[in-house]
Amino acid sequence: MVGTTFAWFTDTASTGVNKITSGNLHVEIQDKKGTEIDTLKWVDKNGNDIANQDDILWEPGCTYLLTPFKIANTGNLALKYKIVITGLDGDSPLLDVIKFTYKTASGEEFDMSAEGHLTAKGTAGASTDMITVSAHMDEAAGNDYMGKTLTGIKFTVYATQDTVENDSYSNEYDENAEYPIDTWNGDIATAKELADATDDTKMVVTVDSGKLLAALAKAVNDGNNYEGYTIKLTKNIDLNGNEWTPIGTKGTSNVFKGTFDGDGRTIKNLKISSGDCVAFFGAVENATVKNLTVEGNVNGKNAAGIVARVVGGATIENCVNRATINASDKAAGIVMYAQGSSSSDQYGPLSSDCVIKNCKNYGAVNANKIAAGGIYGWSGDESGKLKITDCENNGVVTATNTAQAGGIAGNCRVITVENCANNGTVTSAANAGGIVGKNDTKASAITSCKNTATVVGAEYKTGGIAGTFIGEIKNSSTTGNDVLVGTLGTTTTKDVNTIEMAAKTQIKISAFEGNISLKNVEIDVVNVFVGTGSREINLSNASVATLTLTGGKDAYGNYMLGNRTVLTRDDETSTIGAIVVNGQCKDATSFMYIYLNGICNNVVNHMTTADGTTGANICTFKTGTINDGVVDPLEGEKTKVEYTA
């Protein structure tokens, strides 16, 4: 239950001579003592408190009441108000057998749908009588109604000025004051009504109702892309639990190409029950969506709160998702998927930047198969044009089965993430990261990001910043998980994978692969997965207490044949305390050469061959250089490191 305040005219201005004070409009939902309340609790039919609300079990014939409340005007302007009830028209079968009634303290019926009027604070008509909501479960309710749950019930009060105050004109100044929300009944505006709302000269469409919004969606889905037009939302719109058809359709040319300016307003009770690619916007191309908040529930194969599919490019800014997102494949709070140069080429590289900035997610995001992200879901794009900046996730992100989960991005190939924060729990049975769940194909970048929440995932695939990641991570921190990255790098590319901090920082990394650069960090223990080939580990004002080199099978099931690891550093203070060689190689002809370059003088060999013998050839060299993956020349003294159990 929420009390909401809106003002037709509220401001204060002063000069050195006189003072002009605006009227103040403020409405609250209060208890009998006059204290503002934001949550109504269930009480028994005698009005007694029920200590643990979760222990309430509904059964046929039972009756419960909600805490009595009143609507009160706490401002100095008369107001008129409406109460909007949501959640009672949901899908739960319980709605069929639970009857809600509304009465005042005197026992009279209270019409929750009627417009009410309250005089200014301190006058006799400044509040309603106490209102009691009762809920009764039908005595005839059968076993079909066991184990059901009804959630999301909300009472929202919308107020605006009433025609009571006299001003310099009369008391009719407020006659046309409108409520700041429109509640949609499911109707669609006619083509003429949409045309009347369209200024073709200024190329602006003004949307102030649910039926106009639905007409806009229909127009886009019928082929009008509104390229060059700005859609201006001038009211909050309550979709009232009616099924929403997304604006734009993935896989067709019927996409939105204009600018949608929510103007700081909210789409409430968004409801999408199914579909392949669903969100408030189904598909956009080189469009801008800004200043918009959505609330409700979105369910589908691939689902998001704001935009399901971006092709070409887009700017998504200052948007907030408060909807719950559930997807069988891919899910996100803001944008689910961006790829393709245009609506006619939906799987190539992006042709222009896709920028998601200053966006926030508060809704729960759940995916069952591929990826879940608080801000962004999944992408196969490798153009480097996908950028997420100054975004924040506060919702719980959950990926089940083998899906990946990230507080900001679930699964991607090439991405730039800057100045983002995750404060929501992230969970996956596979890759899980506070910022990025998985990126394992091309080099990406995470800069100045932070995680404060718990991240749960698989071993070597879980980190406060990233689960698995290729590229560079700079000046980023985690307090929710002590491990910064699950696995950084890959053996499949020559890209250098970097961890860099602005000042010397103690961090934890579970594992490295490929070429690694460490700058201004201290690491206690880290594991390096090694395959066949050569790699460089470079230190700059950095130290590692114990570096473990682990051999094993690669992605194709092949054991290590030969590996060269070259240690380099940019300063004399950078060191590795000890190197421990573990795991297995193919056979006795397999080798691992380590080029120390004065960085470490303690190497231990615990590596066996695939058949369990101890014949792996582990050697160190005092010096060695590497250039483009090739170690040349082999210099200095070669020393074999004998096996120890």
Instruction: Give per-residue pLDDT as tens, 509-518.
Output: 999 988 999 9
Of residues 16 and 297, more confidently modeled: 297
- The confidence band for 193, taking pLDDT boundaries of 50, 70 and 90, is very high
- The confidence band for 177, taking pLDDT boundaries of 50, 70 and 90, is low
Q: What ranges make up the beta strands (E) of 234-373? A: 236-238, 259-272, 277-278, 281-304, 307-321, 324-332, 335-338, 354-357, 360-361, 365-367, 371-373
At 319, list the tokens: 């948007």
DSSP assignment of 548-592 equals EEEE-B-TTSPBB-EEEEEEEESSTT-EEEEEEEEEEESSTT-EE
CB within 8 Å of 59: residues ≥ 6 apart: 137
SS3 call for 339: coil
Read off the pLDDT of each residue in 79-103 and give the average, rounded to a whole number: 71
Q: Which helix (H) or strand (E) holds 214?
A: helix 210-221
The answer, yes or no, to whether the previous bond of 180 is cis (omega within 30 of 0) is no
pTM of the full structure: 0.80
Of 99-113, 163-177, 261-275, give the range with the top mean pLDDT: 261-275
Taking 80 as the threshold, does the pLDDT of residue 190 lie above it? yes
Of residues 99 and 283, more confidently modeled: 283
User: In terms of residue numbers, what domain contains 99?
Assistant: 2-179
502 domain-assigned: yes
61 domain-assigned: yes
Burial 108-139 (b: 16+ CB within 10 A, else e): eebebeeebebbbbeeeebbbebbbbebbbee
pLDDT tens digits for 445-491?
Answer: 999 999 999 999 999 999 999 999 999 999 999 998 899 999 998 87
Spatial separation of the C-alpha atoms in residues 613 and 226, rounded to whole Å: 70
DSSP assignment of 94-152 equals GGGTEEEEEEETTS-B--TTS-EEE--TTSTTSBPPPEEEEEEE-TT--GGGTT-----
Read off the pLDDT of each residue in 557-586 and give the average, rounded to a whole number: 91
How many other C-beta atoms are found inside a 10 Å radius of the C-beta of residue 640?
11
pLDDT tens digits for 219-229?
Answer: 999 999 999 99
Q: Which of left, alpha, beta for 590 (phi over 0: left; psi -120 to 50: alpha)? A: beta
Range name among 126-135, 288-297, 487-496 with the lowest pLDDT average: 487-496
422 domain-assigned: no
Entry field: residues in the chain:
645
Spatial separation of the C-alpha atoms in residues 386 and 383, rounded to whole Å: 8
Taking 70 as the threshold, does the pLDDT of residue 5 lie above it? no
Spatial separation of the C-alpha atoms in residues 592 and 550, rounded to whole Å: 11
Q: Residue 178: what pLDDT?
A: 60
- The confidence band for 166, taking pLDDT boundaries of 50, 70 and 90, is very low
pLDDT tens digits for 377-424?
Answer: 998 999 999 999 999 999 999 999 888 999 999 999 999 999 999 999
Q: How far is CA 390 from the centre of its chain?
A: 12
**481 contacts 467 by C-beta, under 8 angstroms:** no
Q: Residue 76: what pLDDT?
A: 83
624 domain-assigned: yes
Read off the pLDDT of each residue in 163-173 and give the average, rounded to a whole number: 49
Range name among 163-177, 241-255, 581-595 with the lowest pLDDT average: 163-177
Q: Which helix (H) or strand (E) holds 474?
A: strand 471-474
Taking 50 as the threshold, does the pLDDT of residue 8 lie above it? no
Average pLDDT, the chain: 87
Q: Residue 20: what pLDDT?
A: 42
DSSP state at residue 49 = B
At 477, list the tokens: 């921190």
Q: Indicate which CATH number applies to the domain containing 142.
A: 2.60.40
Which residues is 299 bridged to in the sheet? 326
- The confidence band for 58, taking pLDDT boundaries of 50, 70 and 90, is confident
What's the burial of 434, exposed, middle or buried (CB within 10 Å: 0-12/13-18/19+)? buried
Q: Residue 170: what pLDDT?
A: 45
- The confidence band for 231, taking pLDDT boundaries of 50, 70 and 90, is very high
Burial 293-328 (b: 16+ CB within 10 A, else e): bbbbbbbbbbbbbbbbbbbbbbbbbbbbbbbbbbbb
Q: Residue 78: what pLDDT?
A: 86
At 126, list the tokens: 């400044």
pLDDT tens digits for 24-37?
Answer: 668 888 888 889 88
Chosen domain end from 146, 179, 212: 179
Spatial separation of the C-alpha atoms in residues 567 and 287, rounded to whole Å: 48
Half-sphere exposure of 549 (CA within 13 A, CB side): 33
Instruction: Name the residue with tokens 């409108």.
Output: 178
Read off the pLDDT of each residue in 337-344 and give the average, rounded to a whole number: 91
Q: Which helix (H) or strand (E) holds 59?
A: none
Half-sphere exposure of 221 (CA within 13 A, CB side): 16
One-letter identity of residue 59 = E
Q: Residue 287: what pLDDT?
A: 98
37 domain-assigned: yes
Read off the pLDDT of each residue in 169-180 and give the average, rounded to a whole number: 52
pLDDT tens digits for 593-632?
Answer: 999 999 999 999 999 988 888 878 899 999 988 887 787 7
CB within 8 Å of 625: residues ≥ 6 apart: 566, 595, 631, 632, 633, 635
204 domain-assigned: no
Q: Residue 113: what pLDDT?
A: 75
Q: Which helix (H) or strand (E) holds 586?
A: none
**133 contacts 153 by C-beta, under 8 angstroms:** no
Chosen domain end from 179, 204, 224: 179
168 domain-assigned: yes
pLDDT tens digits for 278-312?
Answer: 999 999 999 999 999 999 999 999 999 999 999 99
How many other C-beta atoms are found inside a 10 Å radius of the C-beta of residue 25?
24
Read off the pLDDT of each residue in 133-148 and give the average, rounded to a whole number: 80
Taking 90 as the threshold, does the pLDDT of residue 529 lie above it? no
DSSP state at residue 244 = P
Q: Residue 300: what pLDDT?
A: 97
Q: Terminal CA-to-CA distance of the chain, rounded, Å? A: 66
Instruction: Indicate if the alpha-carbon torsion angle 345, 337, 305, 89 is positive or negative.
Output: positive
Report CA-CA distances (Å) from 118 to 75, 82, 294, 363.
10, 11, 30, 35
Q: Residue 557: what pLDDT?
A: 75
Q: How far is CA 464 from the centre of its chain?
A: 15
At 380, list the tokens: 């196969």
Spatial separation of the C-alpha atoms in residues 403 and 369, rounded to whole Å: 5
Chosen domain end from 179, 194, 222: 179
How many other C-beta atoms are found inside a 10 Å radius of the C-beta of residue 182?
21
Specify the number of domains making up the chain: 2
50 domain-assigned: yes
At 191, list the tokens: 């083509």
**72 contacts 127 by C-beta, under 8 angstroms:** yes
Percent pLDDT > 90 in the chain is: 58
DSSP state at residue 642 = -
Taking 50 as the threshold, does the pLDDT of residue 96 lie above it? yes
Spatial separation of the C-alpha atoms in residues 325 and 319, rounded to whole Å: 16
What's the burial of 344, exposed, middle or buried (CB within 10 Å: 0-12/13-18/19+)? exposed
Spatial separation of the C-alpha atoms in residues 401 and 255, rounded to whole Å: 32
**571 contacts 540 by C-beta, under 8 angstroms:** yes
Q: Residue 516: what pLDDT?
A: 95
Read off the pLDDT of each residue in 205-218 and give the average, rounded to a whole number: 98
